[in-house]
């Protein structure tokens, strides 16, 4: 299981530092329903990622590793495709980035957060955590990293639990800060929101590029092995 955890770490970090979900949960924490919507968002995030991993690992099944314990050919092809997609993400984002002096656009749905109920907050977390294209690429890559090891299902579940915890640290941090600091957290959370929103493009571009290159390199190594 240790090998699987080592392989999935970069992908879990990629999900954890995704800026828009962090901005979303911070915005929820400054609404009148903060004490219910914040934890609901975090719970939805955790459940969504856990279930996504369970489904992907169930689909991969025992075909993820060969009899010699090496990754199956489809795993290398998947890594190559995911790696290329992740390399293309920063190129597209960099071209679409706001120029100096331009205001960073805010997604329209964020304006409706004041009216969210806990179920809606949880649903938004599931969408942002698993349906978001960039996060979905990281989750699929993480599941492939676990599946390729060929470890028993119980150990796969344990490795994915670690992935889920690590991938949830980004949205968990503002919730913890809110309940630990109370009203004093407002300034800190506002600063975090502003910084994450302003640097969204740079954060995701660098992260996607690094992880994408790693996946392409792993695939090449697998093909040549």
Q: How far is CA 93 from the centre of its chain?
A: 17
Task: Tell me 141's DSSP state.
Answer: H
What are 170-189's pLDDT values in tens digits? 999 999 999 998 878 888 88
Provide the domain count of the chain: 1
pTM for the predicted model, two decimal places? 0.84
Q: pLDDT at position 206, please?
A: 84
What are 133-175's pLDDT values in tens digits? 888 989 998 998 888 887 888 899 999 999 999 999 999 999 9
CB within 8 Å of 175: residues ≥ 6 apart: 25, 29, 38, 39, 41, 42
Q: pLDDT at position 123, please?
A: 93
The pLDDT-based confidence of 78 (bands split at 50, 70, 90) is confident
Domain encompassing residue 209: 2-224
């Amino acid at each position: 299981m240790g090998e699987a955890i080592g392989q999935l770490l970069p992908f879990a970090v990629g999900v954890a530092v995704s800026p828009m979900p962090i901005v979303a949960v911070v915005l929820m924490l400054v609404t009148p329903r903060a004490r219910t919507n914040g934890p609901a968002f975090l719970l939805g995030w955790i459940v969504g990622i856990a279930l996504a991993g369970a489904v992907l690992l169930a689909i991969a099944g025992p075909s993820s590793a060969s009899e010699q314990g090496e990754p199956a050919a489809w795993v290398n092809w998947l890594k190559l495709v995911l790696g290329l997609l992740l390399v293309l993400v920063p190129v597209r984002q960099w071209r679409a980035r706001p120029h100096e002096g331009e205001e960073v656009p805010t997604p329209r749905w964020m304006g409706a957060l004041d009216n969210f109920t806990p179920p809606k907050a949880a649903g938004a977390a599931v969408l942002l955590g698993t349906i978001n294209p960039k996060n979905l690429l990281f989750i699929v890559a993480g599941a492939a990293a676990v599946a390729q090891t060929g470890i028993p299902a119980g150990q796969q579940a344990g490795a994915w639990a670690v992935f889920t915890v690590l991938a949830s640290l980004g949205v968990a941090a503002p919730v913890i800060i809110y309940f630990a600091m109370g009203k004093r957290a407002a300034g800190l959370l506002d600063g975090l929101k502003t910084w994450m929103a302003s640097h969204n493009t740079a954060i995701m571009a660098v992260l996607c590029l690094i992880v994408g290159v790693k996946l392409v390199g792993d695939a090449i190594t697998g093909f040549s092995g």
